[in-house]
Structure 1
Amino acid sequence: MLWLLPATLLAGLLASAATYWGALYELDEVLSDQLKVIGRHVVVDEDNHVSLTGLQRSDDDRMSGEQSHGVLLQVWRGSTPIFSSDPDSSLPPPAGAGLADIMVGGQLWHSFVTREGDVLVRVAQLRKARWEAVAEIAMHLFWPVLSLIPLLALFLWFGIGYGLRPLREIAANLKRRDANNMQPIDTAAMPGEVKPLVDALNDLLLRLDHAFTAQKHFIADAAHELRTPIMGLGLQAELLERASSVAEREEITAQLRMGATRLSRLSEQLLTLARLAPDSQLAETCQFDLTALARSVVSERSKFAESNNVDLGLAEGKKLTVSGNAENLRILLNNLVDNAIRYGGAGSRVDVEVYGHEGRPVLEVRDTGPGIPEVDHTRVWERFYRGNGHAATGSGLGLSIVRRIAEQHHASITLAHGLEGRGLTVRVCFPVARIPHVCVAERSDEPRLRENS
């Protein structure tokens, strides 16, 4: 209302102004034509008597009235005045027939002159008289517009209220809902102006429903996975109290330590997975050397590989730059290397390689372990799925974390056979780096390097 009422008033003023100037133009033409008519009906006889022909009495009456509105009638024979409706007029003799504007005594006169031999008949009117007539017309035009403003405001009030009624219905609908009601709002009876807003709200409700559902499933799965190690720790603690020998106590203590380590790793991966939600954005994106990052991770995991009797090495390649979050990609590679070491088994070999393929950086982790059956290639990305036939313990979250990080970096992941025709190869193909900001991936000790095959 605050915008529409002033706008409507402004439109009325503009309309009045336009009507004013249009009326002025039309009135000028009408009055000029009137002057012509009057001039053509003035007749002067041989005795210099002036008379009007072709005009009715009403016209004569109007002539007398026009005199009071600044209309002047003059008759000249040559340069000698022989008649004037205003003897005190100081207008100069007419220069010729036709329309002309004359400035006398600071006043502008519009005049029309006709010639009959040496007789000149002039009809003149003050410019001021025309402006007064136009002002009267403008006032008559403006008051109707001004009087329509209250009526227009009333129509706007009810019209806008009626038009915004669907929004009030939507607000009332949303207020009545609880946090678990994510049903879309019905748009069948919605006006076309409101439908895009409702469609956007429905899309948001759908995304929220998916996010809440995923969160509920995640919490349920996490509670289920945490229950087993926690119960195991409780049982081991009870057995520790009943231990009758030092050897039995040391064995139970080792089991407790192993269970605590597993629980700690599971909690860490759960937190990582929660942080890497599907809709989450990368905290910091920059360009860095993927080869340097791989060298750093291999160096960090080398002791863990040695403790599991696994030959871990890096197939050194040239510098390759990728765009992304260095810390998240470190988590990705750590999980891939950790899975390869855990599931590869003692005596296996794990190779990490970085190379370019068709202008895109590629990261590969290959091992000679038992691998993953092809029927499970699609299921291994699910949370808490560990497959069958593996002696190593794990949470089943490593590859889920890897997939989440790869999706954040718009990278593709494929599974294939590993080294020597057995085991597993995980290949991560990154897009071409385009972000100019550069960051450095730190590294620790030099890892064991392998010759490129």
Structure 2
Amino acid sequence: MSSLRRRLLLWLLPATFLAGLLASIGTYWGAVLELDDLLNDHMRYLAEHINVDPGERVVLTDTGKKPNPLSDDNADEVLLQVWSAGVLSFTTDSGLTLPPPRQTGLSDVQVGDQIWHTFVSQRGDKLIRVAQAQNKRWEELAGLAVHLLWPVMSLIPLLALFLWFGISYGLKPLRTVATELSERNVNSLQPIASKELPGEVKPLVDALNDLLERLANAFTMQKDFIADAAHELRTPVAALSIQVELAQRATLDEDRRISLSEVQAGVTRLTHLTQQLLTLARLEPDAQSPIMQGVDLSDLCKSVISDQVRRAEVSGIDLGLAEHAASSIWGDPETLRILLNNLVDNAIRYAGAQSKIDLAVRETDQGFVLEVCDNGPGISAADRERVLERFYRGNNQTGSGSGLGLSIVKTIAEQHGAKVVLDTPSNGAGLRVQIIFLSKSEN
């Protein structure tokens, strides 16, 4: 299993070491320039404070706190020469010969494989040269490099230790959240306290809390759905059981035929209820999102009328499209067909024989309106809001419906950003259901 702590350590340690190395190199380079200037100033100081008396005796005047370059300890640090008329009259190293100086000031002199850094000062007819071999400077720089780099190298184990415990402390809130989640069960969906958490962990915990809230809502809806479905299925199943028992006890063929007819009607109602329950379950918020596309509402009305017209004719119902406009919305054609089929099915069930059902599609300032209007008994104003709830039948308790049709209509409308409005037609009789699509298609 991949470790976040190990991953952070593998990134932070090399990065810290590289930063320390670059800082040391930068410091070293700056120190090289400073040391070079310092050594040049040192040679200049020596050359300017050397005094040669007429007896060719060389002395260092005004030594102050400066070291004596002619002492035994500093004899190998610098080379001191006195030139007179191009002839070497004094040197601190008789075994080393440098060419006569040609100019005053700082200059480099190549002698064999060695480069000498020199400073020449003129005193009357005498030239005083102070020189230092390049390798001596490199020895100074090498020592400086060691002094700069060894702290970085020696601090790596200590830095790794601090990073290890620092990362562990930084990851402590994640372990706290993990521990809290591991101690919960399916019924413990309360949000995780995020007030005291660091800003980097809080978005993760907020997302988890949002998921827990949605799961809690889904479980609650599922429990309610199962309870309501069990309650609704109990009545038709009990009725079927009674009718089957009556058919078994019947001694006359007519009584047996009536009981079997009731069984057939009960099976039909139970099948319709089961189909409605399956449809409603498929439309739950956590179900797969439908695929949206352009849907022509007028064509949808014509298709649904074609499917339902034969059933309407059996009851002598006049089913047709009263008004239609060129209309196209952005939606799922399958669920919209379910919506309209439920509206027409409810109208056929409750409008009564010899009634009239008109479908219409209009364009208004709000958007496109899909309308199903009948001249049946309608729904009282007090029940119009509640009939959109599951299993509520209102004043149609004696009907053969399941109480789910309008609930399905409401769910599909909400998926399409539409609004469901129930009212009475302008003639004052029946029921008019309007589905108002608040935005038009983006074709």
Please give the TM-score of this superposition, normalised by the length of structure 1: 0.86
The counterpart of 1:10, out of the listed 11, 15, 18, is 18
Partner letter of residue 289 of structure 1?
Answer: D
Residue 162 (1) aligns with residue 174 (2): no
**Structure 1 residues 51 and 381, CA, compared in 2 at 3 Å: closer, same or farther?**
same
Q: 1:376 to 1:131 in 2, by over 3 A?
A: farther
Quick one: structure 1 residues 86 and 428, their matched pair in 2 at CA, closer, same or farther if it must change by over 3 Å? Answer: farther
Cα deviation for residue 226 of structure 1 reads 0.7
Match of 1:244?
251
Aligned to 2:5: none
Point out which structure has higher relative CO (alpha carbons under 8 A, 6+ apart): 1
Identity of aligned residues (%): 53
Residue 220 to residue 54, structure 1, CA distance change in 2 (3 Å): same
CA displacement at 1:263 relative to structure 2: 0.8
Matches within 5 A, 1:426-445: 426-430=433-437, 431-434=439-442
Point out the more displaced range, 101-110 or 350-359: 101-110
CA distance in 1, matches of 2:367, 2:116: 88
- Deviation (angstroms), 1:156: 2.4
Aligned to 1:141: 148
Matches within 5 A, 1:233-272: 233-272=240-279
Structure 2, unaligned runs of 5 or more: 1-8
> Partner residue of 1:352?
359
After superposition, the Cα gap between the structure-2 partners of 1:81 and 1:173, relative to the gap in structure 1 and judged at 3 Å, is same
1:129-162 alpha-carbon deviations (Å, 9 max, x no partner): 3233222112122222222222222222223223
Is contact 2:70-2:92 (8 Å) kept?
A: no
Which residue does the alignment assign to 2:388? Answer: 381
Task: Note if contact 2:366-2:436 (Cα within 8 Å) is conserved in structure 1.
Answer: no
Query: By how many angstroms is 1:360 displaced?
Result: 3.1
Contact kept in structure 2, 1:97 and 1:113, CA below 8 Å: yes
Query: Counterpart of 2:4?
Result: none
Residues 297-353 of structure 1: per-residue CA shift (max 9 Å, x gap):
121111122123221111353432222211111111111111122222222222222
Change (3 A) 1:181 1:62: farther
Q: What is the distance in 2 between the residues matched to 1:126 and 1:113?
A: 15
Amino acid at match of 1:208: L
The alignment partner of 2:186 has SS state of coil
Aligned residues: 434
Asked if 2 retains the 8 angstrom alpha-carbon contact of 1:343 and 1:390, the reply is no
**Per-residue Cα deviation, 1:374-432 (whole angstroms, up to 9, x for no partner):** 22232122111111256532111111111211222222222232252332222223322
Structure 1 match to 2:82 = 75
SS of the aligned residue for 1:55 comes to coil
Q: Distance in 2 between matches of 1:324 and 1:46?
A: 113
CA distance in 1, matches of 2:72, 2:441: 94
Aligned in 2, Cα 1:116/1:287: closer, same or farther, shift over 3 Å?
farther
Q: What is the CA–CA distance in structure 1 between the aligned matches of 2:38 and 2:30, rounded to whole Å?
A: 12
Alignment counterpart, residue 393 of structure 1, candidates 397, 400, 415? 400
Q: 2:45 aligned with 1:37, yes or no?
A: yes
Between 1:283-292 and 1:231-240, the stretch displaced more is: 283-292
CA contact (8 A) 1:359 1:432 kept: no
- Post-superposition shift, 1:229? 0.9
Aligned partners of 1:95, 1:380: CA distance in 2, in Å?
114
Structure 1's 137 and 238: CA in aligned 2 closer, same or farther, altered over 3 A?
A: same
SS of equivalent residue, structure 2 residue 68: helix
Alpha-carbon contact 1:237-1:256 (below 8 Å) kept: yes
Q: Which residue of 1 aligns with 2:34?
A: 26
Residue matched to 2:347: 340
Partner of 2:307: 300
- Aligned position for 1:441: none
Specify whether residues 382 and 389 from structure 1 end up closer, same or farther in structure 2 by C-alpha distance, changes over 3 A only: closer
Aligned pairs (5 A) from 1:196-211: 196-211=203-218
Letter of the structure 2 residue corresponding to residue 60 of structure 1? N
- Aligned equivalents of 2:97 and 2:431: distance in 1? 116
Q: C-alpha distance in 2, partners of 1:308/1:390?
A: 20
Q: Which stretch shifts more, 402-411 or 153-162?
A: 153-162
The change in CA–CA distance for 1:53 and 1:279 in structure 2 (over 3 A counts) is same
Query: CA separation in 1, counterparts of 2:380 and 2:84?
Result: 125
Q: Is 1:326 aligned with 2:333?
A: yes
Comparing 91-100 with 321-330, which one deviates more in the overlay? 91-100
Aligned mates of 1:421, 1:118 — CA distance in 2: 132
Q: Tell me by how many angstroms 1:80 deviates.
A: 4.7
Cα distance 1:36–1:267, how it changes in 2: closer, same or farther (>3 A)? same
Higher mean alpha-carbon deviation, 83-92 vs 299-308, is at: 83-92
Deviations along 1:188-211, one digit per CA (max 9) or x if unpaired, are 543444333333322222221111
1:281·1:408 contact (CA, 8 Å) conserved in 2?
no
Moved more, 1-10 or 256-265: 1-10
Q: Say what the alpha-carbon RMSD is for the aligned residues.
A: 2.7
More off after superposition, 404-413 vs 98-107:
98-107
Provide the rounded CA distance (Å) in 2 between the counterparts of 1:62 and 1:2.
55
How big is the shift at 1:359? 7.6
